[in-house]
Structure 1
């Protein structure tokens, strides 16, 4: 408990003890009123204060106003009837404060997961100056500076390790407890914790653009993006609260007037005023106003602990309705680690063909280019390469040692009018031509991720009706991968723009109530992530494009997290609908009973505080996401 919660607990205990003691002390008259009213002020002064501020700010109708009118009215009735029964007014306020304390504790519990994530914010960065380490604000560190990260410290900025080896704790980012090894030349992102060795890191981004800043900004802004359910509750409360206040006023005045004027019997003002006050206590919309946002907050907090960052409750609600899941292949279902698995040549040696391919592709950062250079295994002399021309979706044409080398897919060969040999090998085929003559082809295979097949199966169990894979690979490769994973539909030979077109076609086919989620690696899938109903960026640590474009960010490369994210969202929405139904059904039933005099003030306490506690207990179930 925090200091404020402990103070409230003390007030609750003192008031409860005073109520018990006063029950056994034989006091009457003014002394009795003073002692009971002092007890009332101890437990309810803050509610009265908030109600007063609301009236001064012309924001009258809220739960504080309802509780103040109802409890003060109970005191006035006790004085009017000269019954000395002040217990009801105090009891209503006491149980209301118990409910508020319970709600505050529940919010704190759900906030804990997000607070743990917020702990990744670094307090300082170590700069080495004159042989000594100097702690500076991360905002003051310029790009290209060398910072020192000692064991136990947070990595303050993104960069490249220039010296040292260590293991990194990335659990705050990915939800995974397994540490990761890091060595010289590796990229390192802010927010990790250095566990063992001393690292010297050359920064590549300013603090405001670093991974940790992007993630913190995402989480901090998540509460501002409200779901339709939360908007409904906000609008409902604005109409509902004034309506019940005027209804209570009418209940207090109209029946006695009818008794006097039309029935010609004495007006029972005390009976109807009591019913009106009971009506007010019952009508408090606390269960709805508190539990619905708390449910979403708990869901987002529980997901963040698992390394699933959801940008707002509106995206959580949309994700829960996902019936179509569309995957990019490379980097999402496969590792994006390409390896040369075969070299087939005409009148040139294997090594020479690989050499030409690696040199022609030396200026590209594409994974296929890197795999060719890795297979070549020698240092690339870029002076041997000139006139490099990259043709999007086709390949590369360049001059190597003065000879024109073309390396790409079958589209490139057709574009250059070069006859080529069809290849039925499973993998990406790089056709090679030298000086306009076909020289052979190189087969490059991507590795399917360990849990991809299980992830697709889990999506079906989670209620996803159709899975689709989009890829720029050849049809034979795409069909083979889709069949091995159990994907329902596959579209191959797609350019980046074609993927957007295909997603738009799929969006037009589905019903309005169904949502389409696109899952990509976030590097070159930003347009599709933005176009889908819900964009999910996977393995997005360090990827600005993913964090900016996606609605849901999975911080590691495990495809199982996709199904988990959907299950979390659906559990959260189930809880929200349960709380809305529970609160409204019980509220309106009790309001009817209160209006006809069946429900008294004690019954009203259950209808208000009891329902709120049940709803809050149900809401914090959204935190339990580990075993989904």
Structure 2
């Protein structure tokens, strides 16, 4: 048994540099005890998995972030039902005062732990129970105000929400600086004044435009981080000043800052667009307390509590409707545009939107275990499993920038030493052009954004992809292997025929079968119980035994009853009568005597045939169906749908064996999808290259086991997923080719003295903006 992994998730508020995100990830991975680390630049999260041997991992990781990106705020995401609150204490500048605050807060009743980080000014308070947390926090505020009256106290959640307005203010300050810098540059360049005054104006303009960039570069160099965009732009523009190109040095820095501003706006807009697709997290729940309702956080609601859902509100948690009826919009979870009706006794899932009636719901799952919570976690963390293309670009960027810097140094030094008439000024300028171009931002920003957009677009269609790697793998699918029941068929069975041997009546055959199947939740068992339509006296049942792949053996009022397929009859040496009807058969025997058979029919899904045809149109080589059902039934369904191969009467382990046989015939890059219900087919789902669960809405097993979850019962979503994957890959490779192509051309032009810094800045900032805008096309799935 492996060691238990500890998983922590953090928000990196203010992370705007994709290259820095990669460096943070690399450095945290090297920490003792860390088994995995993923920094997601798109949604500003860091997920760390550790073995628990190093208790200082959290602080060491935060130190790495502070070292590489001092402006980034690291916020640990609270885990489910954790009774913890973080306060930010602005104005605590004395370490001794910090210790006093920590000590006195720990003395408050119900506080299990209080920790004050003097560097980040954060006080973390933990209590015994969630219910006492808010009251304890208020008491802590009183204690702090008594000890340090001048301290400003803010809850961390509010601080996070203020980050957007803070960012807008910083953008406004930057724009003001750039306008003043542009004015000073224009005055210095267009008016006739003495050289010292002219140079002074250029210097002031340069400091206004890029002083912060130079400062960041110096600070990073002191930390051993040399090859970043701040260093490259500083060297390039200061070099322009050194060779007397004052206007160009200032203008290039201004152009770079404008480009970075637009890039920041574009990335933030992209993040919001992707987040909006999965805006299903409920803000509150109306908890019924006695005769009143109280608005509470969904995480504070317990299983068994009663909540009221009014028209227009999001359903906050999974539950069962105990009164009322309404139409609910399920599109946020399933992509379905048609509302569905819910009434008394129906299950309802968090994330649905109540359209008209008032619903009273009994909660069946805590928020952390609810469907909406799991779906949010899947989508937000999908990019922690990076696609091979992303990993390649990350490694490429690591070597690309230093290589270009060394080439630039060679361009600046070697030609003037070996070529006649070559001047240092001219070749230094060409080298500076090289430096400006070398930043790989267009790649490291747009590629993860493209994959994340593809995942977001898929979720909009009701397709949950658990990782960028699975989305990319869909491009190379050669075989799609289906389960039958509940995947290609509706899984809604009805008894259509009852046959007897003459010694038993049809009613007796149904009755014995119902007693045998009463403990089963299989759709076939449910159809028999519906046909029996009476209460089953479970006291008369004994020695219940389920024989995998065969059926049920049980004693009913002292009689041995067998109910199952032909294999069960053969196993027990019972002579039975074959049935020629197409359908699923349940043979019934009483005390080793064949009693009769029940024919149960399942209906093929409306879009199943269309899905099989569409898969062939997206270059899938072969479709295969594996079923435990009778050969006659399996072949009839397969022929109706146009499935290439059908394998019937398979036990669960035989399905795995068939899948492995199919897997052995694929090409080296080819992939095999297995599509099942996520419950009975767990081994096959796990064995396939891509496990896809059909009808996963509300199914914990499907969400846990599969790599991709289809939130509806529609097989047609499978070719849609493949089309989304192909489009995403196309967009990603467009960005790779475009970015490297433009940079390569400008590098050559710069080396030959044709391109100036203006073209170089476009090759950096302009290409990045175009690549980001192109990446956002991955979100659109309407015209596939």
In structure 1, the gaps of 5 or more residues are 79-84
Identify the range of structure 1 (304-313 vs 329-338) with the bigger mean alpha-carbon deviation: 304-313
Asked if 1:69 corresponds to 2:235, the answer is yes
Structure 2 counterpart of 1:420: 576
Could you report, residue by residue, the CA deviation over 1:136-175 in whole angstroms, capped at 9, with x for unpaired residues?
3333333233333232322222222222212222211112
| Conserved? CA contact 2:310–2:358, under 8 Å | yes
Could you report, residue by residue, the CA deviation over 1:16-36 in whole angstroms, capped at 9, with x for unpaired residues?
566556654444533333433
**Secondary structure at 1:320 match in 2:** helix
Identify the range of structure 1 (43-52 vs 200-209) with the bigger mean alpha-carbon deviation: 43-52
Structure 1 counterpart of 2:766: 610
Asked if 1:30 corresponds to 2:196, the answer is yes
Asked if 1:172 corresponds to 2:172, the answer is no
| Conserved? CA contact 1:110–1:623, under 8 Å | no
**Secondary structure at 1:332 match in 2:** coil
| Conserved? CA contact 2:465–2:709, under 8 Å | yes
Asked if 1:134 corresponds to 2:294, the answer is yes
Identify the range of structure 1 (457-466 vs 136-145) with the bigger mean alpha-carbon deviation: 136-145
Alpha-carbon distance in structure 2 between the residues aligned to 1:358 and 1:340: 12
490, 507, 532: which one pairs with 2:663?
507
Structure 2 counterpart of 1:476: 632
Alpha-carbon distance in structure 2 between the residues aligned to 1:155 and 1:116: 17
Asked if 1:596 corresponds to 2:752, the answer is yes
**Secondary structure at 1:208 match in 2:** helix
Asked if 1:223 corresponds to 2:383, the answer is yes
Structure 2 counterpart of 1:340: 495
Could you report, residue by residue, the CA deviation over 1:428-477 in whole angstroms, capped at 9, with x for unpaired residues?
11111122211221111111111111111111111211111111111111
269, 284, 287: which one pairs with 2:424?
269
Structure 1 counterpart of 2:470: 315
Alpha-carbon distance in structure 2 between the residues aligned to 1:339 and 1:210: 31
Pair 1:624–1:42, CA change in 2 (3 A): farther
**Root-mean-square deviation (Å):** 2.3
Structure 1 counterpart of 2:35: none
Alpha-carbon distance in structure 2 between the residues aligned to 1:400 and 1:441: 18
| Conserved? CA contact 1:18–1:39, under 8 Å | yes
Pair 1:226–1:549, CA change in 2 (3 A): same
State TM-score, norm by structure 2.
0.75
Asked if 1:163 corresponds to 2:323, the answer is yes
> How far off its partner does 1:369 sit?
0.5
Structure 2 counterpart of 1:353: 509
Structure 2 counterpart of 1:583: 739
| Conserved? CA contact 2:631–2:648, under 8 Å | yes
348, 355, 366: which one pairs with 1:206?
366
**Secondary structure at 1:318 match in 2:** helix
> How far off its partner does 1:295 sit?
1.4
Pair 1:501–1:45, CA change in 2 (3 A): farther
Asked if 1:189 corresponds to 2:349, the answer is yes
| Conserved? CA contact 2:267–2:772, under 8 Å | no
Structure 1 counterpart of 2:313: 153
> How far off its partner does 1:186 sit?
1.4
State TM-score, norm by structure 1.
0.93
| Conserved? CA contact 1:521–1:540, under 8 Å | yes
Higher relative contact order (CA 8 A, sep 6+): 1
Alpha-carbon distance in structure 2 between the residues aligned to 1:98 and 1:382: 76
Asked if 1:408 corresponds to 2:564, the answer is yes
Alpha-carbon distance in structure 2 between the residues aligned to 1:615 and 1:587: 13
Alpha-carbon distance in structure 2 between the residues aligned to 1:204 and 1:492: 38
| Conserved? CA contact 2:288–2:305, under 8 Å | no
Structure 2 counterpart of 1:485: 641
Structure 2 counterpart of 1:94: 254
**Secondary structure at 2:601 match in 1:** strand
Identify the range of structure 1 (193-202 vs 309-318) with the bigger mean alpha-carbon deviation: 193-202
**Secondary structure at 2:669 match in 1:** coil
Structure 2 counterpart of 1:329: 484
Pair 1:45–1:548, CA change in 2 (3 A): farther
| Conserved? CA contact 1:106–1:620, under 8 Å | no
Alpha-carbon distance in structure 1 between the residues aligned to 2:436 and 2:782: 38
Alpha-carbon distance in structure 1 between the residues aligned to 2:378 and 2:680: 20
Asked if 1:47 corresponds to 2:213, the answer is yes
Alpha-carbon distance in structure 2 between the residues aligned to 1:469 and 1:9: 62
Which of the two has greater helix per residue?
1
Pair 1:49–1:344, CA change in 2 (3 A): farther
